[in-house]
Structure 1
């Protein structure tokens, strides 16, 4: 899992998760809703309401973590062997076991989300946040030990990734006491985008360079350009967040404007439908008076 696909697929998942979080955060900010309330649409009832309440994010974590776990187990020719048969025995595949631990934690975080939203009688946000914080605390420790035998370009790439994971761990920890803070949610979303895009970039730098030639560990310019690329990712992800906010704001204003136009078009029809009901009332009264007058005249005219 330490090869090209081991960086690309987790990176794409994290980047997609960051994009989804960005849309949710900006939508709640524009509408003025709470980040913790995933309210059901007003028109949904019965089965649709139950489908809306399903923790799709939790199930995505479970499925993604399970697929990555299966991939790690079966990507090795000899299988996931913990220790060899030498005397004394030695541990085997330490990095693969670390990857396996990361993906199991991702699945457990998804299980916590599903349990909180769909199994418990009342949603427990602390359980969801606590599981996510625990995941990133363990992830940080695994990444720190992951670079023990790394040097040069690989060490620089992973150090920058550890920096992002450390900041994300701090933000998630603070969110335990302020889960509805917009600024913290925005920083969290940005760091998820950074972590995902940088993992994808790391796969290309370490295993499939665009030029076709490997990066040189003893070349200072190569190591410096790793940091330069990281800064470019920072600016690109910030612009991506700005673009998502602009699109979300435009879409919300357009939808609200269309709803106002629809209401204004329906208002005259509603008013005109009430008009004839009031105009018919005098006619009904006159017809009743004529009938009463005819009823009084009929006995007098009879022989």
Structure 2
């Protein structure tokens, strides 16, 4: 973001030709989503002893494993979002950022709906963890929705990255709290101290992630301004060229000049004799 003019489609060309040029433009994020989502989908399907059964065979029929089916839906959406990223960046003739953002927004709309019902039968610690996760997902959904109209805004991309970091770190923390407590003793739902420390830990995640982003940006900015003078010199040389020869106004002026020349050509040919 510091070096390139475009935040979503960086203008840095591949350093090598051939296979290295093709490897440079691969959507590694999309591939990671596909692999991770597929592994988690397979795990959810085969983790149950009797498989992913939708309804029992008794009368009256009842739906089975509601949380597992919601997990399966989340992971399938995650995989499909990775497929869209790979298709947009590597298969289409031109990258479609709106398609990528739209699919991501749709994924988070569905994720928010699933999370709203996911913790309905939860109480105490588990419910508090889900509430805090819903807050992050809701804010992330709003930011991603705004980015549909302004996808190349630095502040929105920074907030999006921060919310993604908070969501991921809190999911890891919530997994340890619910299933593998560090102390070896389960958290108590009826203990007000445990409930209060859930919110305290979440605030610590917010502060740590903010400091992480600040450190990354500070180190990158310092490195760019102090140890990359060639990049700054190249940008200063290319800036007048880009400003003077690009944009719709420049194209419009060229078209007007061309039309004026075409109109004047018959007059010159008649007056020449």
Larger Rg: 1
1:112 aligns with 2:80: no
Range moving further from structure 2, 242-251 or 101-110: 242-251
RMSD: 1.8
- State the distance in 1 between where 2:224 and 2:77 align: 36
The separation in 1 between residues aligned to 2:153 and 2:128, in whole angstroms, is 33
Q: Pick from 63, 79, 83: which aligns with 2:55? A: 83
1:257 deviation in Å?
4.4
- Correspondence for 2:17: 45
Contact 1:40–1:49 (CA under 8 A) maintained in structure 2: no
**Residue 22 (structure 2) pairs with residue 35 (structure 1):** no
**Would you identify which runs of 4 or more consecutive aligned residues in structure 1 move more than 3 Å?**
257-260
Deviation per CA, 1:16-67, whole angstroms, max 9, x where unpaired? xxxxxxxxxxxx1x21421121335353323322222221211111111111
Q: What does residue 124 of structure 2 align with?
A: 152
2:254 aligned partner: none
Aligned match of 2:135: 163
Report what 2:240 is aligned to. Answer: none
How far apart, CA to CA, are the structure 2 residues paired with 1:146 and 1:259? 50
For the structure 1 residues 32 and 123, does the alpha-carbon distance in structure 2 shift closer, same or farther, using more than 3 Å as the test? Answer: closer
Gaps of 5+ in 1: 1-27, 261-303
Q: Of the candidates 67, 76, 79, which is equivalent to residue 95 of structure 1?
A: 67
1:246 paired residue number? 218
CA distance in 2, matches of 1:202, 1:96: 17
CA apart distance, 1:193: 0.6
Contact 2:125 2:188 in 1 (8 A): yes
Of the structure 1 ranges 37-46 and 75-84, higher mean CA displacement relative to structure 2 is found in 37-46
Aligned equivalents of 1:212, 1:146: Cα separation in 2: 26
Q: Is the 8 A contact 1:109 1:132 kept in 2?
A: yes
- Whether the 8 Å CA contact 1:153–1:216 is kept in 2: the answer is yes
Instruction: Return the offset for 1:259.
Output: 7.7
List runs of 5+ in structure 2 lacking aligned partners. Answer: 233-273
Name the SS for the 1:31 alignment partner: coil
Aligned to 2:251: none
* Equivalent-residue separation in structure 2 for 1:88 and 1:113 (angstroms): 43
Q: Distance in 2 between matches of 1:178 and 1:233?
A: 28
1:143 aligns with 2:115: yes
Contact 1:40–1:53, Cα closer than 8 Å, also in 2: no
Determine whether 1:209 maps to 2:181: yes
Q: How many angstroms apart in 2 are the aligned matches of 1:34 and 1:258? A: 19
CA contact (8 A) 2:88 2:97 kept: yes
Pairing 1:56–2:35 present: no
Larger relative contact order (CA 8 Å, sep ≥ 6): 1
Question: Residue in 1 aligned with 2:103?
Answer: 131
Q: Residue 196 of structure 1 aligns with which residue?
A: 168
For residues 23 and 182 of structure 2, the distance between their equivalents in structure 1, rounded to whole angstroms, comes to 44
Name whichever of 200-209 and 44-53 sits farther off.
44-53
- Count how many residue pairs are aligned between Structure 1 and Structure 2: 233
- Which residue in the other structure is 2:155 paired with? 183
* CA distances 1:190-222 after superposition (whole Å, capped 9, x unpaired): 000100111111112111222222111111121
Residues 209-241 of structure 1, C-alpha deviations (whole Å, 9 max, x = no match): 222221111111211111111111111111111
